[in-house]
Amino acid sequence: MSEPQQSGFIAHLVELRNRLMRSLLCVLLVFVVLVYFANDIYAFVAAPLLAHLPANSQMIATDVTAPFFTPFKLTLFVAIFAAIPFILHQVWSFIAPGLYQHEKRMLIPILLSSVLLFYGGIAFCYFVVLPIVLSFFTGIGPEVMTLTPDISSYLGFALKLFFAFGIAFEIPVAIMLLCWSGATTTASLKQKRPYIVVGAFVVAMFLTPPDVLSQTLLALPMLLLFELGLILAAFYSAKSPQEEKQ
């Protein structure tokens, strides 16, 4: 590697480090702002469960430190989720100088839509999926049983669902990128639709808790989003490698 190339490589590493540090600092600042409301944030996330608990039931903590650390853990995840637009902006600022003009015009709306879809997936999970799933599980047990869920276990359950639905809602963006880059075509994806249906349920099985209801509630939106991705991808085609920067 020549000296100019080595200097350029080091400069890229320094810039990458600076942008990573800015992203971490943003997460830390958001966390510091939200940490005062840690208990309120946990109460908001636990509201769908509390709404379906029997009148004589309440949540418990089986670990001595859980009442302190569990809300803090949730607040950290909320800070990361809230900082995603800034983090993506840092990613964009790092890669944008090496992109063609048509690539910039393509990726800007994709980055924005990916953020909105991720948040949309979390909102869909909180307002639609959690009430259905929790209503099913809290009502299926024997009457002699008193349900007293652990706060840490519920947090892990909820975060896993939030993450699964947030990622699953990125399917239209993934399909658009694949078709736009030339890796595949909408016609090819349509031919593979039966395999994709099976794959959606397999992916849902790994991303959600081990129950058929959660898996189905994730797989069905994934299939609908796949169809939406095919519609949107039809407006894009692979760009010629001969296109030059403007």
Per-residue pLDDT reduced to its tens digit, 67-122: 889 999 999 999 999 999 898 888 888 887 777 777 777 777 888 888 899 999 99
- The pTM of the full predicted model, rounded to 2 decimals, is 0.81
**Interatomic CA distance for residues 156 and 74, integer angstroms:** 9
> Could you list the pLDDT tens digit for every one of the 246 residues in the chain?
556 666 667 787 888 889 899 999 999 999 999 999 999 999 999 999 988 887 777 888 888 889 889 999 999 999 999 999 898 888 888 887 777 777 777 777 888 888 899 999 999 999 988 888 888 777 776 666 677 889 999 999 999 889 888 988 888 888 888 887 778 888 888 888 889 999 888 888 877 767 787 788 888 888 999 988 888 887 765 444 444 444
Q: How many residues does the chain have?
A: 246
The per-residue DSSP string of 155-214 comes to HHHHHHHHHHHHHHTTHHHHHHHHHHHTS--HHHHHHTHHHHHHHHHHHHHHHS-S-HHH
**Interatomic CA distance for residues 48 and 55, integer angstroms:** 14
Q: Hunting for tokens 């900082």 — which residue is that?
A: 83
**Interatomic CA distance for residues 52 and 125, integer angstroms:** 16
